[in-house]
Amino acid sequence: MKYDVIVVGGGHAGVEASLSCARMGAKTLLISMLAENVGATSCNPAIGGLAKGHLVREIDALGGEMALITDEAGIQFRILNETKGPAVRGSRAQIDMDRYRVIARNKVLTTPNLDLVQEMAESIIVEDGEVKGVKTNLLNEYKAKKVVITSGTFLRGVMHVGEIKQVGGRFGEQSSEGLSHSLRECGLEMGRLKTGTCARIDASSVDISVMEIQNGDKTPSPFSFRTARKEFGETKKQIPCFIAYTNQNTHDIIESNFYRAPLFTGQIEGTGPRYCPSIEDKINRFRDKDRHHLFLEPQTMEATEYYINGMSTSLPPDVQQDMIHSVKGMENAKIVRYGYAIEYDFVDPRELKHSLETKKIKGLYLAGQINGTTGYEEAAAQGLMAGINATLSFQNREPLVLRRDEAYIGVLIDDLVTKGTKEPYRMFTSRAEYRLLLREESADTRLSRYGHEIGLISDELYERVKLKDEQIQEGARLLNETIFTPNKEFIAFLESIGEDKISDTITAQQLVARKSFDAEKMVKIVPQLAKYDPYILEEILVEGKYARYVLKQSEEIQKMKKYLKIEIPESFDFRKVSGLSREIVEKLESFNPPTLQAASQISGITPAAIEILHIYIKIDQRKR
């Protein structure tokens, strides 16, 4: 009954947390309400997307599992925003939901140092402000110095289907009442959020011939840097999705039943996700739209059941039937599972340190939807970091805290713990101010050294990453050192490859920065690059195109790093700082940021306020 780390909850956050703890050498226990649902994808049958794909690759670069499972269970792979710049592209994969869950559970069951028990955590055992373990519904007491809570939507979960309310954390499963009360008793500030899912329909009852087909990429790219890319692209089997549309009849059906929608009647109190609204919310907010996209996504390789992406709802069953049957191609659709909304408790993430340890209870870590996020990827990223930091703390080592300029994971956690959230938080590329540095394909060269240092990335894999980085840097050096003059011979060469002439001396890097330049042309002007494989060449090309902007962002980061090093004393009195507004003082007192960099990330804290703080901290240091 004694462990080093206990992880509560077997969703995506719990899987990553428990695997990382065990692989780093901690004796770990994973407590899950239902063992067969460890790693279950409760909502959409897909992993990744815009910005979310970045998170998955960063998880992989640090030694997490989500990307590897996705490559194995994936049934369609696509690069979103492919025609746009590399910084805002995103990888997305449809998955076989059943297969994904089985793979994840088997990883847990076969990992040394990791035990799995099917019980419900009822309360946290705390003594003198420090966590000591967990008590379950079977009255078992499991002791540990570190506890990671990844409860998902199960804290006092209530599901809504029309006027019907049912207690539960997921359809067919119980909610966790005791654990929620226990966290409140620990003094943690908590709130209420809402999310939802759509109906699933029998694939044989749908006429896909009248819908638009959406295939995967011709040559699919794997998520994991550990998956052999060439073999994957040649052998991975893919199946299509289909696009349908709502119409005026659909909208009329929904609008005429607003009075029965829990979202509008006051039945639902929690705040829902702004960027993934229910269909009734979309019809209400976007009345000028004639139609909305619906994506029919297969839930398994056999494609016997479709998930209707874009039609999340908590409307009554009869209304769900009518609105689905109003869609072209779905007139005879048979509903296998009805959509529903779910409300649940969450902890204000401002209660957390950047390590995801709670400020009030030593050794207690929180990860996933309990921190106010939405999405598998956001949950998995937090679970990995919470597991890593719980283990590092147990081993008396410094926590791993990623900066905003290092990773989307750093942006995610920093946003949560400094700004908090009043609605389910979703990651977007626009949230990352240094996104040119945080491209998907660079996740391994950015983060694998951390994974290697903590023991989640092997020596062999890390050597491969270092070789890749060296090749990219060598390519960038060649581009900068190769110089061309506007002589007749070179101007004629440029014309032969469809490029405009030059009038001044120019480097290869400046030429490559042209929008018209691709990898093939790059090799023609710098033949030494021909020795690299196509994937390395693509990275060299991107580095060349964005070199000027990357340099500018790097200079901004160096300016910010001076703030990163300046700590705000714990006893610092913000009220004594002349020149700060009452609102800014209140925010600083509420967040109690440990550094000036952390203070700068608080919403409403101006650069001028940071400069004033900087001066007063120096004065305080001199007095001391």
Closest CA to 16 of 76, 74, 59, 80: 59
Lowest mean pLDDT among 384-388, 393-397, 604-608: 604-608
**608 versus 483: which is more confidently predicted?**
483
pLDDT at residue 144 tops 70: yes
Listing DSSP states for 455-483 in one string gives TSS-HHHHHHHHHHHHHHHHHHHHHHH-E
pLDDT in tens, 205-229: 999 999 999 999 999 999 999 999 9
Domain ranges of the chain: 1-151+201-339+350-457, 469-548, 565-623
pLDDT at residue 603 tops 70: no
Are 33 and 117 within 8 A, CB to CB? no
The pLDDT of 502-521, averaged and rounded, is: 93
Place of tokens 């030694």: 63
Element (H, E) at 127: strand 121-127
Lowest mean pLDDT among 44-58, 177-191, 476-490, 545-559: 545-559
Maximum distance among all alpha carbons in the chain?
A: 86
Query: Any idea which fold 565-623 has?
Result: DNA polymerase; domain 1 (1.10.150)
CA-atom Rg of the chain in angstroms: 26
Burial environment of residue 362 by CB neighbours within 10 A (0 to 12, 13 to 18, 19 or more): middle
Mark out the alpha helices in 92-167 (DSSP H runs).
Answer: 97-109
Closest CA to 46 of 109, 81, 90, 13: 90
CATH of domain 469-548: 1.10.10.1800
pLDDT at residue 564 tops 80: no
pLDDT in tens, 259-313: 999 999 999 988 888 878 899 999 999 988 999 999 999 999 999 999 999 999 9
Residues 42/44/49/54 CA torsion (nearest 10 deg): 10
Mean pLDDT, rounded, of the chain: 94
What is the CB-side half-sphere exposure of residue 298 using CA atoms within 13 A? 26
Q: What pLDDT is recorded for position 430?
A: 85
| pTM, two decimal places | 0.90
Instruction: Place domain 1-151+201-339+350-457 in its CATH homologous superfamily.
Output: FAD/NAD(P)-binding domain (3.50.50.60)
pLDDT in tens, 85-119: 888 899 999 999 999 999 999 999 999 999 999 99
Look up residue 373 and give its amino acid: T
Q: What pLDDT is recorded for position 582?
A: 84
Question: What are φ and ψ of residue 241, in 5° steps?
Answer: -105, 175
The shares of helix, strand and coil residues in the chain, as percent rounded to the nearest 5, are 45, 20, 35
